[in-house]
Structure 1
Amino acid sequence: MQTWQLPQHIADILPERARQLESVKEQILALFRVHGFELVHPPLMEYSDSLLTHIDEGLSLKTIRVPDQLSGRQLGIRADITPQVARIDAHLLSHNQGINRLCYSGSMLHAKPDGLLATREPYQTGAELYGYAGTAADIELIDLMIKSLKLGGINNAILSLGHLGVFRALAQAANLQENQSRQLLATMQNKDREAVRDLAKSWQLDDIWTNALATLPELYGGRDILQAAKQRLPQLTAVSQAIDVLEQVCHAFPHQAVHIDFAEVRVDNYHTGLLYAAYAPEHHDAVARGGRYDGLGEYFGRSRPATGFSFDLRVFGAYLAASSRPEAVRVALADYAQAIEKINELREQGICVVVDYGMNDNSGSLKRLQKQGDEWILV
């Protein structure tokens, strides 16, 4: 085995792509800033208990663990930044009883990739809002998500909506156990109504709940599917409230392409209600995901309503225009010491100046800094 080979689903980011991603990252963080979101930098690694690995099975399977040689405790390399931000809101920013708007951008590691084409080192970027339970906060975050995608070159994203409240209301009414709910959710992902029905019948559920659960995989489509849901689902308060939230979001984005799926629940276990995601043409999976996760901070000492989204910054590489290296100015090595004041002046103006060692380089510079009379000028 060659020692320089990287692990599977791990890759370097080379100069052109790195320029693209850093540039769009700066623009997105600036966008977050003007919308009132403060930047935080959680650590790449902390004690695994703090990463919610023991209460979220999906997150636990993604998390790489190592022993801490200082404390003897188990460390985890983060597989998701959202729980870390929830910890910051609940613990380090607990003095603020109002709204906290927080954002972040950083690498995380997965023990296994999410798919055949997925990286194990996503560069997760996102924004979270804590302290307000109303749908207006979700709408604010969805709007920010769509604006972020446009900065990343994705102008025709489809907004996908779902709501965990519908399934959970039906599961509660049918008296499902937690393990039954998880099994049923997994079955629903294949959109196989009969498989859902057979599973519900095997548990001897009442027909009203068996039929309602088997209906969920069929309730997907455009905005008009909400009316169908009202007609076909049982009249439970929680179901009506969830549909009302979906209607509010649809009304807030009248010109946005929307897809609604009542069986779309492929999220981390900590989500609690409205789910939103964005899909782009010619991409195999969602380019951004988010949703409401009220109460996640309770584990860290403060339960708060919360909503937020995130995306892998690397995804934008396929949508951004090619990036060329900024033009550089060359200065001969023999002239460097004499020209240092002029060089510093140019660099302070944002102009790239490189030393010419008399060899080919990749600077692409066409201009030179030369002395004419008493002045250094660009030639």
Structure 2
Amino acid sequence: MRNWTLPEYIEDVLPAEAARIELLRRRLLDLFQVHGYQYVIPPLLEYLESLITGVGHDLDLATFKVVDQLTGRLMGVRADTTPQAARIDAHMLNNQGVSRLCYAGSVLRTNPDGLAQTREPLQIGAELFGHASVESDIEIQRLMIKALQAAGVESLHIDFSHVGIFRHLVRESNIRPSLEQALYGALQSKDQSAVSDLAIGLDKATRDALCVLTELNGGSEILEDAQKYLPSTKPITQALSDLRQVSEKLADMNANVSFDLAELRGYHYHSGMVFAAYAQGYTGPLALGGRYDEVGSVFGRARPATGFSLDLRGIVIALPLAELPKGIFAPYEMDVALANKIEALRAEGHVVVQELPGHEAHRSELNCDRKLVKKDQQWQVVAAPELVS
């Protein structure tokens, strides 16, 4: 194997793509900041129990493990930043009221996923801690939509569900864990006959409710059907009320909203409303989020929480291609006026590339379409079509 070969699904990010990613990263972090979200930079490595305890088997499988040579303890390379943000809120900040945190950085996963199909997504996200009601869910959802629109994504479609409905049915009927897992799988595939067969030993009301979940997908009208066919218990009634508020409060965001009450993504991790953002022309979800009130308890301080994250690189790859901005070519001369002109242009935000001696034959590689020339004792910028390869 050649020593410059990278592992499967691990790639370099080359200049044009890297520039777009960095521009978008800055734009989104600025957006989060003006909404009151404070930037944090968690470590890439943590002790394994901090990274995966309480967040489900899926994240455990996605996490690379290493042995700490200093302590002998097992460590993990983060596969998701959300648990780290929950730890920071629980123990480093220790706020009693609402905390708003945001982050941006690479995560590493054992298998490729997401839009970019990479094992090293560049994850950016926002998390809100300390508020348990639907208003904070809506704040996070509106911020997610603004972030995707700021990235240039059009015709957004947001799909909602609420894992609390299925969880309530399971608890009320004392469904054993093995049957719960089987029902979860059948609901994910919307296999009503399988759900019916698995629920054969349950009371009729629970069995009917589980079966009807497979049909409850569509626009806001399905929430009325859900109210009609699901048990009128307080948790289910509240969940449906929250989903209705979401439909109303996002009406001005220029995004289509739908519901799929059999969708249980992150069931072992999330505790309430979950959502995913899609858009025409993209093969998968652009952003994922939801409520995860129970995660903080593993850090000794349970706090209600909701948030979302997206893969910057995946979005950039899926957007239309764009070239690096062209620069201004400057000759190599020991001229004070030239040096001053170059610094003035750079201060204005222009890219100015000064040639180094001996590389005159490679000027077309410098990505410049203008050049500095001396006219009437002054350095001026003029077009340079001969530099464009």
Q: TM-score range by the shorter chain?
A: over 0.9
1:335 alignment partner, SS class: coil
2:283, 2:92 → 1: CA distance?
A: 38
2:227 alignment counterpart: 230
Does residue 243 of structure 2 align to residue 242 of structure 1? no
2:119, 2:84 → 1: CA distance?
A: 19
Shift of 1:168: 0.8
> Size of the alignment, in residue pairs?
376
1:141 alignment counterpart: 140
Shift of 1:208: 2.0
Does residue 73 of structure 2 align to residue 78 of structure 1? no
1:351 alignment partner, SS class: coil
Shift of 1:55: 5.3
1:254 alignment counterpart: 251
For the Cα contact (< 8 Å) 1:153–1:316, is it kept in 2?
A: no
1:180, 1:79 → 2: CA distance?
A: 29
Does residue 360 of structure 2 align to residue 358 of structure 1? yes
Shift of 1:301: 2.5
2:202, 2:335 → 1: CA distance?
A: 82
- Give CA-to-partner distance per residue, 1:245-296, whole Å, 9 cap, x none: 1111111122541110111012262210011111111322211111111132
1:46 alignment counterpart: 46
2:10, 2:135 → 1: CA distance?
A: 38
Amino acid at match of 1:38: Q
Shift of 1:31: 0.9
1:163, 1:109 → 2: CA distance?
A: 28
Task: Please give the residue correspondences for 1:73-222 in structure 2 after superposition, counting only pairs within 5 Å.
Answer: 73-94=73-94, 96-114=95-113, 118-201=117-200, 204-222=201-219
For the Cα contact (< 8 Å) 1:19–1:323, is it kept in 2?
A: no
Shift of 1:324: 3.0
TM-score by length of 1: 0.93
For the Cα contact (< 8 Å) 1:154–1:319, is it kept in 2?
A: no
Amino acid at match of 2:244: E
For the Cα contact (< 8 Å) 2:115–2:284, is it kept in 1?
A: no
Structure 2, gaps ≥5 residues long: 383-389
2:292, 2:57 → 1: CA distance?
A: 16
Amino acid at match of 2:170: A
Does residue 366 of structure 2 align to residue 369 of structure 1? no
For the Cα contact (< 8 Å) 2:282–2:318, is it kept in 1?
A: no
270-279 or 178-187, which deviates more: 178-187
- The 1:319–1:64 alpha-carbon spacing in structure 2 relative to 1, beyond 3 Å, is closer
- Give CA-to-partner distance per residue, 1:7-39, whole Å, 9 cap, x none: 222222222222222112211111111111111
Shift of 1:334: 4.1
139-148 or 297-306, which deviates more: 297-306
162-171 or 111-120, which deviates more: 111-120
Shift of 1:333: 2.9
1:200, 1:362 → 2: CA distance?
A: 67
1:347 alignment counterpart: 346
Task: Please give the residue correspondences for 1:307-322 in structure 2 after superposition, counting only pairs within 5 Å.
Answer: 307-322=306-321
1:18 alignment counterpart: 18
- The 1:14–1:55 alpha-carbon spacing in structure 2 relative to 1, beyond 3 Å, is closer
For the Cα contact (< 8 Å) 1:122–1:314, is it kept in 2?
A: yes
For the Cα contact (< 8 Å) 1:129–1:306, is it kept in 2?
A: yes
210-219 or 250-259, which deviates more: 250-259
1:191, 1:101 → 2: CA distance?
A: 36
Task: Please give the residue correspondences for 1:259-274 in structure 2 after superposition, counting only pairs within 5 Å.
Answer: 259-267=258-266, 269-274=268-273
Amino acid at match of 2:305: A
- Give CA-to-partner distance per residue, 1:201-221, whole Å, 9 cap, x none: 2xx222221221122111111
Amino acid at match of 1:178: P
- The 1:322–1:55 alpha-carbon spacing in structure 2 relative to 1, beyond 3 Å, is closer
What's the C-alpha RMSD, in Å, of the aligned pairs?
2.1
- Give CA-to-partner distance per residue, 1:78-105, whole Å, 9 cap, x none: 01000000001001100x2111111111
1:176, 1:205 → 2: CA distance?
A: 8
For the Cα contact (< 8 Å) 2:337–2:379, is it kept in 1?
A: no
- The 1:374–1:55 alpha-carbon spacing in structure 2 relative to 1, beyond 3 Å, is closer
Shift of 1:339: 4.1
Shift of 1:370: 4.4
1:4 alignment partner, SS class: coil
- The 1:40–1:115 alpha-carbon spacing in structure 2 relative to 1, beyond 3 Å, is closer
For the Cα contact (< 8 Å) 2:116–2:314, is it kept in 1?
A: no
TM-score by length of 2: 0.90
For the Cα contact (< 8 Å) 1:59–1:268, is it kept in 2?
A: no
1:286 alignment counterpart: 285
For the Cα contact (< 8 Å) 1:328–1:367, is it kept in 2?
A: yes
1:257 alignment partner, SS class: strand
Shift of 1:6: 2.1
For the Cα contact (< 8 Å) 2:287–2:311, is it kept in 1?
A: yes
1:343, 1:117 → 2: CA distance?
A: 38
2:332 alignment counterpart: 333
For the Cα contact (< 8 Å) 1:160–1:258, is it kept in 2?
A: yes
260-269 or 218-227, which deviates more: 260-269
Structure 1, gaps ≥5 residues long: none
